[in-house]
Structure formats: C-alpha cells, structure tokens
C-alpha cells in the first residue's frame, strides 16, 4: 500500500534530509541475504533466492517510515535486489480479511473489472485535485488477471497515465485460510519486462504454512471475506495500487518535496544501502 510511484514521488524527507553541513548517514537495517528461508509472521514461508535481500517486519516498517510513509501494521517483509544500486522493492503484506471465495475466477469479466477500476479512480481524482495533485487515468490491462486454482495465486498488471509518463502496477495475491498475502510493485511501463521476473520469483517461492493454507479452511469456524476474488482484485488495484500510493503524504510540517525519478534512484540507493548487520 505504500510502494513508491513512477514519475513523481512525493516524499517528506523528515529524518532523511541532509543537514546543511554534510550528507545524511544512511540508515542501518538488518538485511538478510539469499539464499535463505524466512518466515512471514505466523502465516507463510518465503524461500529467498540468491541475489535477493530481505528485511523483517520491524525493519520493514521502519524503512517505510524513513521513506516518509505510514506503515499500516500489515507489513510482513520488504524484499529487494542484493546490489546497492537496486531501484525496486516489494513490500509483502498479510491482510486478515477472512477466507476469500474464488468461485467467480472461472468466469470473471476482465472488462467489467477494469471498468470498476476506472470508475473508482475517477471518483478519487476529486480528492487528488483538492490536494493539488494532477489526476491519473487508468489505461488498461498490461496483463489480465489470471488465477492458478492449484496454488491459489493470482497475478495481474494494469497501467496508468500520470502527468509525466505511464506507470504500471504489477500485483499478486496469494490466498490463505484467514486472508491473503499481497505483493505489489510499481514502476514505469517500459520497465515491466524487468520487474515481472522478480515478482514472479518471489510469488513462486511464497507459500502459507500448514494450518494457514487455503485448503485448510473450516466452514464451521472460519470467517469468510465480505467480497469475492474479482471484487478484491478491482479494489486492490484501486485502493492499493493506483491511487493510495500516489496520494501525497502528510506530516507535521506539511511541506511537500517533489522529486523526480533520478533523485528517487539516489534516495533508494541511500535507504537500501547494504551494510553488514547481525541478524538475530
């Protein structure tokens, strides 16, 4: 819900801004390097391949705060490339929504789902205008939703027209007994071929543990989600993917600093600078 957008990023660099006499000290995080097997709360396990780096729950929320974001408490981990120059990352979240019925996946209407996304985004553009932010327009599917019933995982990608370019949101959901795990990556449309493999690798290596799997659902005791899978995808794309990430953040000083993609690259390099740190 708080992955950085494509062309313009509104960051309030409180705590990250350079003092007048020098450069800021890069934050120190307890990175774990792959290959490794890491736990995601009490819900799932992630087999982290070589070439990837991982932050646990507490460090993930701290990193998001350091970037000027506001963690929701649903964050389980942050994963990025192992190199210091990496300019992408994925935040993994568990949403305790209940068991999500997948009955509609067999015959869902991708066009209707897209229309719902566009309608919701257009309505929310009114809020963007009140905040002095240019509206965005949902362009269309870059990858229509596809659901793997065997693994209970769904993938989709949708692009949006922003003021200074075209962004793309690459989304995944993994369904479990009590909710779902989301992974979302935002970038430029032209970078989608490079972004997709990373998300697909992580999705393949992420699985719920025994007792938390989708197939462990007990209809006599477990909560059922208020919406089905199709509605969840439309809502996730709107709430988590195309709008919430692009709304300006609010902090005490209410001072907005707009930085471009070049400055963003430098910021990510500073925040994700890998320094050896003990991992308990």
Higher pLDDT pick, 104 / 133: 104
Q: Where along the chain do its domains lie?
A: 9-271
Q: What is the DSSP letter of 17?
A: S
Rounded to an integer, the average pLDDT of 187-203 is 87
Q: What is the pLDDT of residues 113-160, one digit of tens each?
A: 888 888 878 877 787 788 777 787 889 999 999 999 999 999 999 888
For the domain spanning 9-271, the CATH number is 3.40.1000.10
- For residue 13, the model assigns a pLDDT of 28
For the chain, the C-alpha Rg in angstroms (whole number) is 19
What phi-psi label fits residue 68: left (phi over 0), alpha (psi between -120 and 50 degrees) or beta?
A: left
254 confidence band (pLDDT: 50, 70, 90): very low
Q: What is the DSSP string of 89-119?
A: EEEEEEE---B---GGGGS--HHHHHHHHHH
The CA-atom distances, in angstroms, between 274 and each of 84, 140, 263, 269 are 6, 37, 19, 9
Q: Evaluate if residue 204 carries a pLDDT over 90.
A: yes
Strand, coil or helix: what is 81? strand
Name the least confident of 152-166, 180-194, 229-243: 229-243
Question: What is the C-alpha separation between 246 and 220, in angstroms, rounded?
Answer: 40
Number of helical H runs and strand E runs in the chain:
5, 13
Higher pLDDT pick, 257 / 31: 31
Q: Evaluate if residue 220 carries a pLDDT over 90.
A: yes
Strand, coil or helix: what is 7? coil
Percent of the chain whose predicted confidence (pLDDT) is above 90: 36
Mean pLDDT of the chain: 76
Rounded to an integer, the average pLDDT of 237-262 is 36
Please give the structure tokens belonging to residue 142.
């870059």
CB atoms within 10 A of CB 218: 8
Higher pLDDT pick, 146 / 1: 146
- For residue 80, the model assigns a pLDDT of 87
Whether residue 159 contacts residue 140, with contact meaning beta carbons closer than 8 Å, is answered with yes
Question: What is the C-alpha separation between 153 and 204, in angstroms, rounded?
Answer: 9
Residue 55's nearest CA partner among 2, 92, 103, 4 is 92
Pairing mode of beta strands 153-162, 206-208: unpaired
233 confidence band (pLDDT: 50, 70, 90): confident
Question: What is the C-alpha separation between 75 and 92, in angstroms, rounded?
Answer: 6
Q: Evaluate if residue 177 carries a pLDDT over 90.
A: yes
Residue with the two structure tokens 């479990």:
176
Identify the H or E element spanning 148: strand 137-148
Strand, coil or helix: what is 213? strand
Q: Evaluate if residue 187 carries a pLDDT over 80.
A: no
Q: Evaluate if residue 168 carries a pLDDT over 90.
A: no
Question: What is the C-alpha separation between 216 and 219, in angstroms, rounded?
Answer: 10
Q: What is the pLDDT of residues 12-71, one digit of tens each?
A: 222 333 333 445 555 678 889 999 999 999 999 999 999 999 999 999 888 888 776 678
Rounded to an integer, the average pLDDT of 231-256 is 45
Rounded to an integer, the average pLDDT of 189-199 is 86
């Amino acid at each position: 819900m708080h992955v950085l957008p494509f062309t313009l990023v509104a960051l309030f660099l409180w705590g990250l801004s350079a003092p007048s006499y020098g450069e800021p000290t890069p934050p120190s995080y307890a990175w774990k390097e792959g290959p490794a097997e890491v736990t995601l709360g009490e819900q799932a396990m992630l087999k982290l391949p070589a070439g990837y780096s991982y932050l646990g729950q507490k460090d993930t929320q701290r990193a998001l705060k350091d970037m000027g974001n506001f963690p929701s408490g649903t964050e389980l981990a942050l994963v990025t490339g192992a190199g210091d120059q990496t300019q992408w990352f994925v935040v993994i979240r568990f949403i305790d929504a209940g068991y999500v019925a997948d009955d509609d996946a067999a015959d869902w209407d991708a066009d209707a789902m897209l229309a719902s996304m566009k309608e919701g985004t257009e309505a929310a553009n009114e809020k963007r205008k009140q905040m002095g932010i240019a509206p965005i327009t949902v362009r269309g599917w870059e990858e229509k939703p596809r659901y793997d019933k065997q693994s209970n995982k769904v993938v989709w990608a949708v692009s949006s027209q922003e003021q200074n370019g075209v962004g793309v949101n690459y989304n995944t959901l993994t369904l479990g007994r009590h909710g779902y795990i989301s992974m979302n990556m935002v970038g430029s449309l032209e970078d989608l071929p490079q972004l997709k493999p990373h998300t697909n690798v992580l999705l393949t290596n992420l699985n719920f543990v025994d007792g938390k799997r989708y197939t462990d659902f007990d209809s006599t005791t477990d909560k059922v989600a208020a919406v089905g899978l199709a509605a969840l995808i439309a809502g996730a794309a709107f709430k988590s993917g195309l709008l919430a990430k692009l709304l300006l953040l609010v902090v005490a000083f209410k001072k907005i600093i707009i930085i471009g993609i070049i400055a963003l690259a430098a910021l990510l390099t500073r925040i994700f600078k890998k320094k050896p740190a003990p991992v308990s």
